Structures are given as structure tokens and as C-alpha cells.
Amino acid sequence: MRPGPAAVLFAALGATALLAERWITVAAIAAVLLAACLAAPAGRRRFLYLAGASITALSVFLLTPFVETIGSHPLWTGPTIPVVGTLDVTKEELAGGAVAALRLLSVSLAFAAYALLLDHDRLLRSVRAGRRSALAVVLATRLVPTLERDAAGLIEALRGRGVAVAGARGHARLLSPLLAGSLERAYNLAESMESRGYGRPGATRALRPPWAARDWLALVAAAALVTGGVLWL
């Protein structure tokens, strides 16, 4: 599937999770998005996204009963705190917290699926207007992984010399060489781009194959999801 329709579909799933009233709908969306994320290649990044989404959702579930004051079926009553009032946990607060956590989980997983599964270069290149801006964004999105790789390389080279990089101060010392290396890399890339004609007037764009049936299907599904989320789900 093309990244454009896929991005719209993920956005629609996230929006539907926010709009739908039934918890089972929200849970189903979360399950679908979780399955999509798990289909991404294994690696540290997948773990980070899933861990981030889960921890955030769990935090919302745990905190909601203490900040809401609804329900008439208390499960636990705690001390009274000035200004805040009496702490209690009701069945209704837990249910509300669970739905809020599921909504947040779904939205987070939609972002995670977008980040893990889509080809961002392709997505940006599909934007017909603003070629230079799109290219700048393409290169900027590569900055973080490149810096990560450069930092890992610097640390490994230092370890190879028997120099340990420890603590915030040790890592902070790498910022200057990382920045210098990043600038040097950018300079080399700019040189290469200019030698390949970048900046010359009259640039064209390669033709893209027409959308396949599944791309259109994704768009229709996205529209149907949002409409269904508002009206029935």
C-alpha cells in the first residue's frame, strides 16, 4: 500500500478511537493497531514505541480514579487531603480510566504504526508542491537516526581506546564532535547534491504508478471508520 493512504487509514483509526463511545470498539482498534506495530521488523525502535504507548496508557489508567470524582460504587476509600478532598476509587472511575487509557493507547499506537511501518521519504515525495521543503524534511527526518548511529560509533571508538563514556557529563562531551560531524556530513551531502544538478531550474518528477485498488480501499475504509465512529460506534 502507498504511504499516503496508509497514513490516512492510521489517522482515521486514531480519530475513531477518540470518537467512538463503546469500549469494545476502542479495544478492537487498539488490538488492530498493536498487530500492525508487531508486524514491523523487530528492533529497539519497535520496543521503544510499544513501551512508550503502554506506559502512557497505564499511567492514565492508574491516575484517572484519583483525579475524577464520579460513581457510587466505591472499591476503596482513602484519607482526606486538604484541597483535593477524600481519595477514593470507584468502579465507574476505573471503567472511565480504562476507556481513556484505551483511547490514548490507540492514538499512540496509530503514531507508532505510522512511524514504524511507513516509508516517510515516499510520503513526503508524494506531496507534489514544495519540492525543496519536502526534501528538507526528508533530510531532517534522517538527522536523528544518523546522529544516533554517529554517537554509537563515537562511543564504540572511545571504548576501543579504553576510554569509558559514563554519565551525563561524559555523554555531553560528545555533543560538540557529533555536531561537527553532522555539519561535515551535511557539507558532503550538499556537495554531492549540487554535483547531481540540485538547484538547477526546470527540475521534473518521476511518474508514479497509479493508485492500486487497495489504496482506494484504504481511503474508503478511513472515511467509513470516522463516519461510523461519529454515528454508531
The footprint of another protein on residues 5-44 (CB under 8 A) is: 41-44
Q: How far is the CB of 111 from another protein (least distance, A)?
A: 19
Residues in region 188-217 near another protein by CB under 8 A: 188-200, 202-207
The CB-of-143 to another protein minimum distance in angstroms stands at 13
Sign of CA dihedral 26, 27, 31, 34: positive
- CA contacts within 13 A on the Cβ side of 37: 30
Q: DSSP assignment of 139-164, as one string?
A: HHHTHHHHHHHHHHHHHHHHHHTT--
Beta carbons of 16 and 233 less than 8 angstroms apart: yes
| Closer to another protein by Cβ: residue 94 or 174 | 174
Closer residue to another protein, CB minimum distance, 72 or 204 = 204
**Site track for another protein across 54-93, x = CB under 8 A:** ----------------------------------------
Task: Considering only residues 110 through 169, tell me which ones interact with another protein, judged by CB under 8 A.
Answer: 119-122, 125, 135, 138-139, 142, 153-154, 156-163
For cell 524534511, what's the residue? 137
What is the binding site for another protein (CB under 8 A)?
Answer: 41-44, 119-122, 125, 135, 138-139, 142, 153-154, 156-163, 173-174, 177, 180-181, 184-185, 188-200, 202-207
